[in-house]
């Protein structure tokens, strides 16, 4: 069965600092990997996704993620965090015939001035 | 383009009562999903529809939860009777055809509190 681990429940960074959110997945074949962001009181929005090709994926809002098969990881990065990036971030994996997505437990990002 | 619509946004009920949530997906999207998101956890898929047929309901507690998607468009999710542990945000999402590489578009969710 597929699974996702986000080891950091909560992360605090200063505005302008770089960010890396960790994600490890478990899936038997080539996975489809996603990062979603959830702002308070809102639904989830897709930041980026990987399913083939270049292992460095660019997304919206200046985010990128790198797929590392050897480490079963798909970490999310941003070079300079803005206060508006404060939200909860979910990594997800999909596989199988019709898409069945399994989400991680999320990492809550706090941005301090 | 209109997004995924859900109603109500909030609901408070007492245990053993029933409740229903409504979702209208993005026009033309064949696949509709209902997720349950308990506080502090990631969303968990309850049921997935392809048009008006069920593709996956393996994690739906069928003794109390039911869902339908009449005419392959909007959908309702019902809980009867509700338990305290059903307190959660219920998210609806849709995608074009349900393939793994597709983006799922999420609605704002319905926050349910069971007292």
| Closest Cα in chain A to B6 | A43
3-state secondary structure B4-40: CEEECCEEEECCCCCEEEEEECCCCCCEEEEEEECCC
CA dist list (Å): A109 to A1, A50, B69? 28, 22, 36
Six-digit token string for B86? 């059903």
- Supply the pLDDT for residue A30: 79
Confidence of residue A100 (pLDDT cuts 50, 70, 90): confident
pLDDT at A98 (0 to 100) = 65
Helix (H) or strand (E) holding A109: strand A107-112
List residues of A whose CB lies inside 8 A of any B CB: 4, 32, 36, 41-46, 49, 51, 90, 92, 94-96, 98-106
At A99 the pLDDT is 64
A64-80 pLDDT, tens digit each = 999 999 999 999 999 99
- Quote the pLDDT of residue A31: 87
Where chain B has pLDDT below 50, the residues are: none
Cβ(B70)–Cβ(B63) below 8 Å: no
Alpha carbon distance A63, B1 (integer Å): 24
Which pLDDT tens digit goes with each residue over A31-51? 899 999 999 877 899 999 998
A96, pLDDT greater than 80:
no
CA distance B57 to chain A (A): 11
Give phi and psi for B92, each to the nearest 5. -110, 140
Quote the pLDDT of residue A50.
93
pLDDT band for position A97 (50/70/90)? Answer: low
pLDDT of residue A75: 98
| Confidence at residue A37, expressed as pLDDT on a 0 to 100 scale | 97
Question: Contact A49/B99, CB-based, under 8 Å?
Answer: no
Inform me whether the pLDDT recorded for A91 exceeds 80. Answer: yes
Query: What does the alpha-carbon distance between residue A102 and residue B81 come to, in Å, rounded to a whole number?
Result: 27
pLDDT the model gives residue A101 = 87
Cβ contact B44–A92 (<8 Å): no
- CA-wise closest residue to B75 among B16, B37, B21: B21
Structure tokens at B114: 């069971």
Tell me the β-bridge partners of B8: none
């Amino acid at each position: 069965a597929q699974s996702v681990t986000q080891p950091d429940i909560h992360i605090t960074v200063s505005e302008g600092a770089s960010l890396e959110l960790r994600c490890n997945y478990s899936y038997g074949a080539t996975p489809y990997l996603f990062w979603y962001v959830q702002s308070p009181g809102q639904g989830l929005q897709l930041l980026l996704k990987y399913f083939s090709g270049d292992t460095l994926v660019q997304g919206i809002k200046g985010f990128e993620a790198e797929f590392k098969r050897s480490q079963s990881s798909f970490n999310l990065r941003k070079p300079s965090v803005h206060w508006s990036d404060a939200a909860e971030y979910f990594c997800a994996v999909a596989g199988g015939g019709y898409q069945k997505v399994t989400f991680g437990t999320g990492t809550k990002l706090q941005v301090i001035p | 383009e209109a997004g995924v619509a859900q109603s109500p946004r909030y609901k408070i009920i007492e245990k053993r009562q029933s409740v229903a949530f409504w979702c209208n997906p993005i026009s033309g999207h064949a696949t509709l999903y209902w997720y349950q998101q308990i506080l502090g956890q990631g969303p968990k898929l309850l049921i997935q529809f392809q048009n008006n047929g069920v593709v996956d309901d393996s994690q739906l507690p069928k003794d109390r939860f039911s869902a339908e998607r009449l005419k392959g468009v909007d959908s309702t999710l019902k809980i009867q009777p509700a338990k305290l542990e059903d307190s959660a945000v219920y998210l609806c999402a849709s995608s074009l055809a349900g393939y793994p590489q597709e983006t799922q578009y999420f609605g704002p969710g319905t926050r349910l509190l069971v007292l």
